[in-house]
Structures are given as C-alpha cells and as structure tokens.
Structure 1
C-alpha cells in the first residue's frame, strides 16, 4: 500500500453524514445560475463541519465558491466540483428523489429540476475529500483551493468565476477556439502521468481498479477554462457511478444502452457506494500527489 493510500485510509471521516448530505443535495437541485441554497449549504458545511480555518469566498461568477485552506509552504492545488442541476423530471423512484421545480429562464416556464449528471455526488465527494485533507494536514504542505462551480450545464460557470477573480483577477482568455461556449478539455500529459501513478497504486483491483485505457470523449465540459486562464496544467479525471453487477450483466446481455441510465437521463442516479469513497479518494490522492510529504 502506498503512503498516500495509508494517509487517506487513516484520515477519512465518517461517511454516514456525507451519505445524508448527498441525499440532501440530490433532493434539492437548483438550475444553472440559481444555485443559491446549494452554495449556502456548501459554504456553511465547510466552516461548521470541516474547519473554521477555511477562507471561504462566495458569490464568485454568480454563486461560485472559492475555499482556501493554507497549510504552510508549498504548491497550490485546485480541486473543483460543479453543482448545478438540469430541467428534467426525475423518474428514479428513489426515496430521496427530487420533487423540486424552478423557473427556467431559457423557456420562461416552470420546470422540474433534477441532479441528472452527478453534480450532487461531485459536491459531496469534494467536501469529504476536503475533510480528509484537513484531518491529514500534518501529512502535506501547501495551499488547498476548492472551487465549487455554478452553471457548468450552461457552459458559462468556469469563465464567469475566472472573470470575477477566482485566480487573482486572471482574465486571460483561452488560446483555443471555443465552440458553442464549451472549449476542448485536454489533459496535461505530465500532470496526468503523475496522477496515474497515484491512482494505479491505490485503485489496484476489482471494479474500482484504475483504467487508463479509456477512449477520448466528445462530451461538453468547461473545466479546462480554470487552468487555461492562468496558464497552469490540469487533468480531468472521471469515476463511475453504476453498480458493477448491473453493468456486467447488461454488458453480457448487450443491453447497456437500454438498461444503464446515462448522464442527463431522468433515471440517472449514481450508487452511493462505492461511488462516494471512490470520488473522495481520487480528490485526496490528486492533492497529495503534489502536496504530500514523502
């Protein structure tokens, strides 16, 4: 077991409160640029439940949040989670399914709202990862910057946060052509290589084993703006949320497209376990890869 894995496992917080927090976020989604209550919950949780040492700055580029935890000399690592939802009527049948509606300014009508793209899990994993890193602060040195980003689904949130001073008023536009407001997200090879070493040493076997053989994707994502604006390298990773038994069965039967809900489906909801633990570990390992004491 790597030293980072040992640090992670010995400092991970009780996950029961985070299960409940995830269910709260799932049941209370908010559309892009209307995430006021979600942002308030995040900001309060950081200082009340994790550490009063967080320097929390709110209302960046809308309802965006930047939370800094300074822990001595060393590099600054930004970890990001998006938190807006979609105008979709949830049909998961979960006991914590969303029943919320909001005004959709795009259509000027009231719409049902759902976390159909996993952003509720992203928020929860990043908060729990922050909790882990605070618990393990003797094991790393540097500055942790948490970026909770609004309006990812509209493709505007990352740029809005940058323009509003997320990175010290860095407003350098991307040097790539933007198509329909979503720039390409290209992982830095050196950064990705270091992350792969950490992920491969920790996610060793079973359904959670690290897979570096994924095909390139054409999905939309504005994450890259946060790095290109300040000319810093970045890497975008993914973690699954479908129960592996369901995936394996459907893959065997050739029914993946029919029976496994995809992002933005009214039936999409990640399995809380092991998704929560996997997401937490990935965030923490990413930070420790640069700030961890070896």
Structure 2
C-alpha cells in the first residue's frame, strides 16, 4: 500500500486539533490524497477537505469522516499520546486529544480511498470523500453545506459513514431507524443583581438561582418523562462570580439535551424553558433569563432498506456474527445533515476498537462501564489492529455495495 496507515494514525493521534482549527490535519489528508493521484479541494467549510474519484457512469456514493479533536488531557500512557494544546473559542488554553476516534476515522477513509482507487476496474460510479471539520461543535456539516458542498461536487445518491466505539475490535454495530439521538446545546444566562457578599439581602443572587435551576432540571427526565422513553438533560458547566465576597450579577449554565425524535425534542425543550423561567421568577429576578441555542443536531436515522442491504454485505465480507445491533446511542452526530439536505438515504454504523479479550474479561466480571473507556474519556485508546483494517474494509465494502 502507498499509505502507511499505522504511521498515519499515530501522527494524527499525536497532533489533534480543535474544531475549525484542523489546518495541520487537512494538510496531512491532502498530502496522502496527492500521493494517491486524487483531485481534492481544501478549505471547504473553513477547514474541510473534499476529494472525488470519478470512474464512469453509475451511482454517486459519499463517504464521510470527521477530523477534529476534543479539549481533553490524554491519560492513556501511550508512547504516541497527545501533548498538544489549543485555544478554545473562549480564548482559554486547553489540552487537546483525539478522545473520540476521529483520527481513526480519517485513517480508515484514506485507506478505503486507496483500495477503491486500486480496484477501479471492478466498479463504476463516483465516490466523494468528505473530511468534515467541527463535528464536536455540531457545526462542521452545516458549514460545508453553506459553502456549497452539495452543489460544487456530484450530489450523493447515498451518504455512508462510520464511528469508532468501545465494542470488541472486528465488530460492527448498526441498526435500521434511529441510530443516534437528536441533540441541542443551550446556554442559559440567569440575570440577578450583584452586590457585597456581606449584604445578600440587597442582591438577587444568581448563584442560588443557578443551583436551584440545576436541581430542578434533573426532574425533567426523572419525574416528567415516561420511563419507557429516552431523554437526557445534562448541565455540563456552571460559571458565576470571581471572588468570594462579591455576589455576581449573573450566572451561566450550559446544557446538553438529547431525545429520539422531533416530538420529544419539542416536549423536553418546553419543560426546560418552563423550569428556567420559573426558578428565575421564584428568585425574584427582575429580568427574564436569556436562553440561547448553540447548536441543533437531528436524529441520525438509518434508511431501513439500505441498512438491510449493507448488513448483508458486511455478513458476506466478514462472516455471520460480526454485525450486532448496538441499540440507539444517546450521543449525537451531524453527519445526517448531508443526507437530509440532499434528500437521500443515510447509513451510519459503528466499529469496535477494544481488544476482544479485554472486552470479554470485562463482560465476564461485570465491569464494562468501569474498565472499558468510552468516547470522550482521557483513557480512550483503540488498539491499532484489527481496528484499522476493519475500518478500511468496512468503508470499502459499503462503497462497493452501492456503486455499480
């Protein structure tokens, strides 16, 4: 093979970049595309890369990989662990790690492109590979769409993608219908009246307001949603005040909400807003809280017919028992924007990166939640083999299944 996939993965893992800052990563991608003799364009949607393999008449298949890292300090102890740092949108210096496997996503897609390029005589059609930035902000797909990615390149007949997950290496997880939840990120500003810490009676304390709001928000899922239904309300950050004897004028909450469909989304959002406004009123706030939607991600819904076709192809290629139904993931993705905007089917699957024996031991001991690091963990570290090979082959099989 032209590409040394091990070296490529290790290089990407060592040098992660935050969302919309993936300039070095884009350079690595275009270096490999150039070596394969493929046409490409950089800077699509700010830091995205798109490449096209035109190979006669036939369907247009889009393959997508995301490229950004996370503000996480790596603790894997790997010889190639990231020590990179970056500056987040707030201007804060933060550690950066590929804690969600996007380095493996890029590696697998480049490997698949090499295989597809080498076997052009066996298929016909067009492959469009989309290396998408800023998935972790839920903004990269929309940025590429706004930059005309659906109009400047052959429009897809189907969109395909995959995500690394803590399943045993070699395993593929896919299901028809809703594969991943919808999501909203909210910022809530609670507006009080600041003053001296010794005179709380002369203030409207937004810290107390925030504390009450956080606790009450936990009852949305535990007391207002049918236990048979899925919903998540997480308050991921609280910011208020600068000194112990100053009551600040405002507090800020950042929320992550998850739900399986649009009806549940409307229901949860309404309940969250009701609680935020009611707690502000209960605290005597003189100004209404300000609720801002930072991002909205639709549910990732796999087309049933295309999923059945691809599952059969995976079974033929990798053997019965390789494909499992992982259930619906409460995490969210922005890959489906491409399929939704183009009006075409989507199939998005997971592939495992955990040492199979380690996973089996954890299952036997009942310690999977403790011993198998998940995505976004500082200990997330897929084994290289057979993770790389299965990721490359899965994308290649999938593309070939829908090409002529």
Tell me the TM-score normalised to structure 2 length: 0.64
Partner of 2:279: none
Residue 51 of structure 2: aligned partner:
67
Tell me which residue corresponds to 1:10.
none
- Distance in 2, matches of 1:169 and 1:225, equals 16
CA distance in 2, matches of 1:254, 1:105: 40
**1:115-194 matched pairs, under 5 angstroms:** 115-168=98-151, 179-180=184-185, 181-194=296-309
Q: Which residue of structure 2 lines up, in the alignment, with residue 97 of structure 1?
A: 81
C-alpha distance in 2 between matches for 1:289 and 1:279: 15
- How far apart in 1 are the matches of 2:142 and 2:318? 33
Q: Helix, strand or coil: the match of 1:286?
A: helix
- State the distance in 2 between where 1:194 and 1:158 align: 26
Instruction: Report what 1:20 is aligned to.
Output: 7
Q: In structure 2, the residue corresponding to 1:85 is in which secondary structure? A: coil
Give the structure-1-normalised TM-score.
0.87
* Secondary structure, counterpart of 1:222 in structure 2: coil
Give the 3-state SS of the residue equivalent to 1:116 in structure 2. coil
Query: What are the superposed Cα offsets for residues 244-286 of structure 1, whole Å, 9 maximum, x if unpaired?
Result: 1000001100111111110000000111001101100110011
Instruction: Identify unmatched segments of 5+ residues in structure 2.
Output: 154-181, 186-295
Higher radius of gyration, 1 or 2 = 2
Offset, 1:60:
0.9
Q: Distance in 2 between matches of 1:251 and 1:127?
A: 33
Deviations 1:123-177 (A, max 9, x none): 000000000001111000011100000000000001111111111069xxxxxx8
SS at match of 1:287: helix
Structure 1: tracts of 5 or more residues without a match: 1-12, 171-176
| Map of 1:210 onto structure 2 | 323
Deviation, structure 1 residue 178: 6.7
CA-based RMSD: 1.6
Dislocated runs of 4+, deviation >4 Å:
none
Asked if 1:55 is matched to 2:39, the reply is yes
Q: Do the aligned residues in 2 keep the contact of 1:182 with 1:220 (CA within 8 Å)? A: yes
Cross-structure match for 1:260: 372
Structure 2 SS opposite 1:194 = helix
**Are residue 225 (structure 1) and residue 300 (structure 2) matched?**
no
- Per-residue CA distance 1:83-108 (angstroms, 9 max, x = gap): 100000000000100011011113x2
* 8 Å contact kept, 2:66–2:133: yes
Counterpart secondary structure, 1:160: helix
Could you tell me whether the CA contact under 8 Å between 1:18 and 1:128 is conserved in 2?
yes
In structure 2, the CA distance between the partners of 1:247 and 1:178, relative to structure 1 (3 Å rule), is closer
Which residue number in structure 2 is paired with residue 32 of structure 1?
19
Q: 1:20 to 1:248 in 2, by over 3 A?
A: same
Deviation of 1:214 (Å)? 2.1
Shift of residue 55, structure 1, vs aligned partner: 2.0
Greater strand proportion: 2
Q: Distance in 2 between matches of 1:178 and 1:261?
A: 23
1:74-89 pair list within 5 angstroms: 74-89=58-73
Distance 2:27 2:326 in 1: 36
| Contact map agreement 2:87 2:93 (CA 8 A) in 1 | yes
Offset, 1:198: 0.5
Q: Which residue number corresponds to residue 32 of structure 2?
A: 45
